[in-house]
Amino acid sequence: MKMIKKLYNLAKESNIVIENYRPGVREKLGVDPQTLFKLNSNLVYLSVKGFRSNSIYNDKPAYDMIIQAMSGLMLTTGRENDPPVRIPFVLFDIITGEMAAIYALSGLYSNAKPYYAEVYLFDSALFAMSYIPMMYLIANQKPKRLGSAHPSMDEVKKKFINKA
């Protein structure tokens, strides 16, 4: 309880609170937006989650490697007949953090206070992968395994030589 009181004191003086608790944890701890907005009506409260609340996965933990698989990224890396390959760094964790920073700054400059927003790891992955998930969802077109090639540069590289 001592730590929660310290958090309340910080929230009274803070501009932004960012949390990434599993569903139900912040309410159990008493650090939910409604509680903190009572302490500071100008607060920007940002919740980073793995999945949207209407997702069947909303109560599941989300880690970058899991999101790489679920988003389809692992189907685009590696060679054609190899098993799915993850990239060796936490790309979607990084992108989600960048998205969270954008949301937090938007909240700071917004006239609507208090300000609440949610950022989702899975949504950030779909955003980062651009058209690849959309081609699958709209046209049922599975991504090609490209190794390290670019999906639309195959023909270009056959006609031009690049010098670095």
Collapsed DSSP state (helix, strand, coil) of residue 43:
coil
For residue 150, give every residue at least 6 positions away whose Cβ sits within 8 Å of its Cβ, in sequence order, or none.
none
Spatial contact of 20 and 47, defined as CB atoms under 8 Å apart = yes
Cα–Cα–Cα angle for 82, 123, 21, nearest 5°? 105
**93 vs 98: CA distance, rounded Å:** 9
Sign, CA dihedral 124-125-130-135, equals negative
Active site residue 150: yes
Q: Which of 5, 41, 89, 150 is catalytic?
A: 150
Cα 160 to Cα 56: distance, rounded to the nearest angstrom: 47
Distance CA 73, CA 65 (A): 10
Note whether 105 and 97 are within 8 A (CB).
Answer: no
Q: Which residues are marked as active site?
A: 150
